[in-house]
Every structure is written in C-alpha cells, then in structure tokens.
Structure 1
C-alpha cells in the first residue's frame, strides 16, 4: 500500500507491505519505500467485555546517521506517538474536529 500525506509542511510518500499476520490477533506492516531508514508497525488486537482494544507498537529509524538519530529523539518519537493516538481516537469515534 502506498499513501501520501503532509508532515512538517513536506509531502511524504511511503509504501508499506504487510509482512506478518495472525488474524484476528495482530498484523505487522513495514516500509519498503519511503522517508525512514526503517519503519515497522505492529497492530495488536484483543477483545474483552468492553469491546476491542488496539495496541500499536512502532519501531523506526530515521535516515542521515547521527543527525537522524538526534531528530528521532527530539522530534520524531513524540510526533509519531501523537499521530497514532490521534488516528486511534478518530477510528474509535472519540475525536472531535473543529
């Protein structure tokens, strides 16, 4: 799957592939082409009396060596966490857009 989005005012294009799946418990998608040196996203699902819970685990590495690692720590880790949290609120219907 290839998607396009704007992040930090820059158009980003990323192609990922599902590399593992064990329905209905989890699936893993990994970048095959895009802005990261490495990007792996594990989507885990569990059910209980309240419904389905989703847990996202993201492993990534930025390009550009030491500068990329600094950007990971200072900006990207927090940005990606907020992005996933916002997406999950939207998917659950808990997001109010003004």
Structure 2
C-alpha cells in the first residue's frame, strides 16, 4: 500500500481561541469545502469536538456520485491540535492532523494528511490522475475561504 502525504500551512489573522473555536467545530467544515463536493453532514452529535466523536458525511467528489464517509476524531489537545481518521469511506487509509500555533500576528495553521487508496496499481494511477489534484483543489479552496473569513478584515 502506497501512503501519500499532503501538507499545507496557512497564517490566520485571529486569536488562537477564535481559530480553535471555528476549526474544531465540525459544523463549520461545510463553510470551507467547495460546493462542487456536495458535502453534507448526515450524522453529528452537535457537541464540541472530543476524542471518540463520530461524524458521518456524504460527499460527491467525482461525477456527482454520492459517497458515504465516516470519520472519528481520534485525538484532541485543546487549542493545539486534533486528528480525524476515516473509519469508513473512499480511502483505504486517511489520517488528518490539524495543528494550531499562536504567533505574534495570529495563528499558524498546519494540516498534514496521510492517505492511501484501495486497488493497488489502479489506486496509484487514480491518485496520479485525479485524487492528488482533487485534494490540492480542496485545500486551495479552503485557503481562499479562510482568507475571506479571517484575513480580509
């Protein structure tokens, strides 16, 4: 199984508390996800983020095909980091770390995703042709939306 890595870093003009409050709330995920993904939370307990929390979604990453995706918030350190891991969904492995670090001018936000695709050679081919670019598109969109929400004030 080939494991890929996607890392992004963005500066957010907000306090650590403001940044954490927004990004640790699963209900805000739709606000920073491209509409073309058809992202919809289908089950969520409306609680503040905690280790063990299960969140279920529907997404349409390609050709309008709906895919169910279940993630678990596996670790949380208040105002520092959280990790979400796929339990069921399109990837054979998905591990997404979100780090938040106060800086003199706001917050340095770092996302590190490790992922793998099923189907061996076909999965590697799909990553090269589609998935890698789709993830770049999603994180580029997220960067633009975060800039609009926090950095254009």
Give me the TM-score of the superposition, normalised by structure 1. Answer: 0.84
Q: 2:140 corresponds to which residue? A: 85
Q: 1:2 aligns with which of 56, 81, 92?
A: 56
Q: 2:105 aligns with which of 45, 50, 57?
A: 50
- Tell me which of the two structures has the higher relative contact order, counting C-alpha pairs closer than 8 angstroms and 6 or more residues apart: 2
Larger strand share, 1 or 2: 1
Cα offset for 1:49?
2.3
Q: 1:76 corresponds to which residue? A: 131
Runs of 4+ in structure 1 off by over 6 angstroms are: none
Give me the TM-score of the superposition, normalised by structure 2. Answer: 0.56
Cα offset for 1:85?
2.4
Cα offset for 1:78?
2.2
Question: When the two structures are aligned, how many residues end up with a matched partner?
Answer: 94
Structure 2 residue runs of 5 or longer lacking an equivalent are 1-54
Structure 1 residue runs of 5 or longer lacking an equivalent are none
